[in-house]
Amino acid sequence: MAGLLDSVNQRTQLVGQNRLELLLFKLMGRQRYGINVFKVKEVLQCPPLTSMPKLHPVIRGVAHIRGKTISVIDLSLATGGRPIEDLSKCFIIISEYNRSVQGFLVNSVERIINMNWESIMPPPQGAGRFSYLTAVTEVDNELVEIIDVEKILDQISPVNTDVSEELKTPDTSEKVHGRKILVADDSSVARNQVKKAVTSLGVECLLAKDGREALVMLKEMAKDGPITDQIALIISDIEMPEMDGYTLTAEIRATPALKDLHIILHTSLSGVFNQAMVNKVGANNFIAKFNPDELASAVKEAVNS
């Protein structure tokens, strides 16, 4: 497994080209899963785990890695499956989501593949067993499932979405009167977190599940009049199926009827985002998930400017 991620820092050129790399892994069965390499800090053989009282049932224990104590989440248990067996033969994917580092226990790790976001599709609607999925794709004629990690983490330790009272002043709602905020995110949990935070400011939200859907919505709205009279700003995730947030931003800036929109990129890629790329595509701001006061402050600053 050593060397699997050795060149991860050389892969940043994929960002902004609507491309990503997936680390493929398996849980308890033949089904393949994928996680974005940019979320992955390290992959290692599962070390001895220490049990602690009152841990969430899907946390198998804590590991002491490079001077830090990291919770290890059994991804099979977390998605409703059987617990992963024989920890001595399993792997931990150390990842960073939403400003925190955690380990995901998986049965085996396969390889890294280069993908286009257009090949990453939303999961089928109405299928209960896909409730923990945020996207699907096909590799070697087999379905690869991409787990909604933000949903799992929120169930283990729910995110606070309450905005401080001092930020809930009427100046924001007056500025966006008659306009709305568009939120684009492939995770239903993340969409609702953002919605709850910003609606507490007295504004209304429109929701899109990926960049392509958001772009179609904006172009349709622009037919009815100036888009900035209708949309106060956009809050977009970066990682999304079909069209990522960087590409969405670039498309908006390249479309005359949309180019003046204020765009905040809001992503769980807290430790590895590319500030140069944020500037290159023309986003106005970047905020790592998830701090409701930071998001609310950015919204207020955008609509009051």
Residues 6+ apart with CB under 8 A from 281: 16, 246, 247, 249, 250, 253
| The predicted structure's pLDDT at residue 90 | 94
Please, what's the b/e burial string for 213-245 (b: 16 or more CB within 10 A of its CB; e: otherwise)? bbbebbeebbeeeebbebbbbbbbbbbbbbbbb
**What is the percentage of the chain residues whose pLDDT exceeds 70?**
87
pLDDT tens profile 64-94: 988 889 999 999 999 989 999 889 899 999 9
Say if residue 10's pLDDT is above 50: no
Average per-residue pLDDT for the chain: 85
Per-residue tokens: 59 = 């946390």
Report whether pLDDT(127) > 80: no
Q: Which amino acid is at 301?
A: E
Q: What is the mean pLDDT of residues 198-203?
A: 88
Would the CA dihedral through 173, 176, 180, 184 be positive or negative? negative
pLDDT level of residue 137 (50, 70, 90 thresholds)? very high
Q: Say what the pLDDT of residue 128 is.
A: 55
